[in-house]
């Protein structure tokens, strides 16, 4: 089993890309409204909603998209964690263009995730979607006010809980290249060589099927056992290795909501269920994360 606390959330297609752990697609934005006295070239990027908390974000990893610690904007019993961002990058038209730039998108998602991770050291944050943009501070307050019932419900439900990601990969070694004497002969004069080649191909297919069966058994065991240790489970879509950069075929991509106090026992349970002598099946554990997969926050238009 490999364990990591890195920018590799269960939902993300690559390290810190935007399929999840940054939560989802960016929110749509309204046209500029023109607020006197406020810089019209700045917008507000909202990372998360929290309860009021004491303590400060750690210096390392606690800086936002502007390179400074995020600001806490209080509204009643809720707090929005925000950074000023340039309209030249985050207004509707430039943001749409940036979404086609995978390097820019990945870097933005990494920063978003680092802020959320830093928040988890001092509170239980409710992560918002990647690129949740408001026009100004008043827009952030309206966002908190209009979504208050859902934010409060989610914060109550997720308080003191974290998310752990478990992925399973199956690895099948490629078939060995046949030696010249093993390769099928174009002539019928060498039937033994052709038969040897076919036997080799059949053996590789059986190896692949055996690895798939073992991986399936590991996945079922992990799901059944870990679901009993977690409060909730979410199965995410499987990741394409070409996007994730991982070797092997992803056959399980699950997220588990676990009380923070029970995390150590959960990790030990994963280790106990991980086959240690089977090179064809790899289990990857990531976390603890803020509970991205369990926020259940509906669509909310920024203002």
Convert the pLDDT of each residue in 93-108 to its tens digit.
Answer: 999 999 889 999 999 9
Q: pLDDT (tens digit, 9 = 90+) per residue, 194-243?
A: 777 777 677 767 767 777 788 899 999 999 999 999 999 999 999 886 66
**Cα 113 from chain centre:** 9
Three-state secondary structure call for residue 60:
coil
State the pLDDT at residue 244.
64
**Among candidates 225, 162, 214, which has minimal Cα distance to 10?**
162
Report the C-alpha gap between 133 and 45 in whole angstroms.
5
**Among candidates 36, 42, 7, which has minimal Cα distance to 21?**
7
49-63, 67-81, 200-214: range with lowest mean pLDDT: 200-214
Q: CA triplet 58, 48, 115: central angle to 5 degrees?
A: 30
Q: What is the CA radius of gyration of the chain?
A: 24
Q: Please answer whether residues 166 and 254 qualify as being in contact, where contact means their C-beta atoms are separated by less than 8 angstroms.
A: yes
pLDDT band at 184; cut points 50, 70, 90: low
State the pLDDT at residue 121.
87
Report the C-alpha gap between 78 and 72 in whole angstroms.
10
**By percentage, how much of the chain surpasses pLDDT 90?**
56
Mean pLDDT of the chain, nearest integer? 80
Segment 152-169 mean pLDDT: 94
**Cα 40 from chain centre:** 33
Residues with Cβ within 8 Å of residue 146, at least 6 apart in sequence:
300, 303
Burial of residue 284 (CB within 10 Å: 0-12, 13-18, 19+) is: buried
State the pLDDT at residue 66.
93
- Relative to beta strand 281-289, strand 2-4 is parallel
Burial of residue 275 (CB within 10 Å: 0-12, 13-18, 19+) is: middle
Q: pLDDT (tens digit, 9 = 90+) per residue, 7-35?
A: 456 554 433 333 334 333 334 334 333 34
Is the model more confident about 15 or about 175?
Answer: 175
Residues with Cβ within 8 Å of residue 172, at least 6 apart in sequence:
207, 208, 211, 280
Report the C-alpha gap between 246 and 12 in whole angstroms.
12
Question: How is the chain split into domains, by residue range?
Answer: 17-159, 164-289
Q: pLDDT (tens digit, 9 = 90+) per residue, 110-159?
A: 999 999 999 998 899 999 999 999 999 999 999 999 999 999 999 999 99
Report the C-alpha gap between 35 and 13 in whole angstroms.
38
User: How many CB atoms lie under 10 A from the CB of residue 60?
Assistant: 8
């Amino acid at each position: 089993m490999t364990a990591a606390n890195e920018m590799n959330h269960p939902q993300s297609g690559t390290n810190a890309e935007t399929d999840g752990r940054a939560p989802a697609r960016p929110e749509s934005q309204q046209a500029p409204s023109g607020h006197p006295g406020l810089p019209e070239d700045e917008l507000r990027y909202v990372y998360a909603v929290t309860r009021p908390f004491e303590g400060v974000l750690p210096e390392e990893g606690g800086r936002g998209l502007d390179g400074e610690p995020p600001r806490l904007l209080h509204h009643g019993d809720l707090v929005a964690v925000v950074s000023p961002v340039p309209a030249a990058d985050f207004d509707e038209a430039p943001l749409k263009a940036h979404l086609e730039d995978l390097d820019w998108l990945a870097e933005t998602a990494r920063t978003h995730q680092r802020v959320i991770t830093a928040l988890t050291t001092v509170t239980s944050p409710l992560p918002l979607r990647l690129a949740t943009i408001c026009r100004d501070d008043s827009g952030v307050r309206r966002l908190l006010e209009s979504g208050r019932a859902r934010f409060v419900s989610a914060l109550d439900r997720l308080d003191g809980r974290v998310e752990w990601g478990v992925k399973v990969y199956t690895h099948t070694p490629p078939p060995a290249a046949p030696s010249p004497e093993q390769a099928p002969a174009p002539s019928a004069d060498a039937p033994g060589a052709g038969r040897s080649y076919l036997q080799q191909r059949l053996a590789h297919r059986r190896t692949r099927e055996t690895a798939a069966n073992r991986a399936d058994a590991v996945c079922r065991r992990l799901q059944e056992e870990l679901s009993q240790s977690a409060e909730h489970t979410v199965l995410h879509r499987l990741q394409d290795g070409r996007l994730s950069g991982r070797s092997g075929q992803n056959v399980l991509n699950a997220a588990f909501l676990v009380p923070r106090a029970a995390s150590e026992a959960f990790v030990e349970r994963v280790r106990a269920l991980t086959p240690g002598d089977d090179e064809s099946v790899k289990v990857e554990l990531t976390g603890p994360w803020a509970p991205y997969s369990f926020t259940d926050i509906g669509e909310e238009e920024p203002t």
